[in-house]
Amino acid sequence: GAVVSQHPSRVICKSGTSVKIECRSLDFQATTMFWYRQFPKQSLMLMATSNEGSKATYEQGVEKDKFLINHASLTLSTLTVTSAHPEDSSFYICSAGGTTSNQPQHFGDGTRLSIL
Amino acid sequence: DAKTTQPTSMDCAEGRAANLPCNHSTISGNEYVYWYRQIHSQGPQYIIHGLKNNETNEMASLIITEDRKSSTLILPHATLRDTAVYYCIVRVSNTGNQFYFGTGTSLTVIP
């Protein structure tokens, strides 16, 4: 079945560092990918829709200058958390696939980001 | 915003059927109901989806009421590995097919 791969699975870094997370669709092309954030004991919150070849669409309240999204190819979207601070520590998850409403999205295994 | 409500938690005995309810009273006619589950520290796993008719696959069955205002996910023979948070999601159809997750149901399968 469709596979979505995220890298890295875990990252720990100092405050002020920028961190890039990759999301790849391994066996299909994805014109659209989605990025989510999940805090402990909470549900997934949609952050943005990543569109291949165009600007991402951000959900209300998500800072686009803080969370930079690049979707330069049909199999890769990246999320960069710029100048990360401890409050940005979270579980970041991407999904891809399901370009029509009758097709499921497939999720990556997430990236655990810890900012010290 | 999520268009679904689910019980916060449920228990089920191992080997018994687990029936997880979901209310989606504001669902539109062309919006699908999807079910995913998330095991701790992993990404959500797709289970099943449907529009009007009941659906069954190797993992579960999905029963959708005739008025489509609610549905039930059935795991026919729950195992310990089915312990997870189960999310019922109504897929938004008019703005890009996004998924907005609700709070989900934490299912614990008891030996």
**Residues ≥6 apart with Cβ < 8 Å to A19:** A11, A13, A80, A81, A84, A113
pLDDT > 70 in chain A, percent? 98
CA distance A7 to chain B (A): 13
Closest Cα in chain A, distance from residue B5 (Å): 13
Q: pLDDT below 70 — which residues of chain B?
A: 94-96
Could you read off the pLDDT of B32-53 as tens digits, one per residue?
999 999 998 899 999 999 999 9
CB contact under 8 A, A104 and B93: no
- H/E element, B63: strand B61-64
Length of chain A: 116
Q: CA nearest A33 in B: which residue? A: B98
For the record, the structure tokens of B105 come out as 């149901």
Q: What share of chain B is helix, strand, coil (3-state, %, to 5)?
A: 5, 45, 55
Can you give the pLDDT at residue B95? 65
Which residue of A lies nearest to B94 if distances are taken between CA atoms? A101
Shortest distance between the Cα of B7 and any Cα of chain A, in A, equals 14
Burial of B34 (0-12, 13-18, 19+ CB in 10 A): buried
**Inter-chain touch A43–B45, beta carbons under 8 Å:** no
pLDDT of residue A98: 76
- Per-position b or e across A28-51, b if 16+ CB within 10 A of its CB: eebebbbbbbbeeeebbbbbbbbb
Q: What is the pLDDT of residues A49-79, one digit of tens each?
A: 998 888 999 999 999 999 999 998 999 999 9
The DSSP symbol for B31 reads P
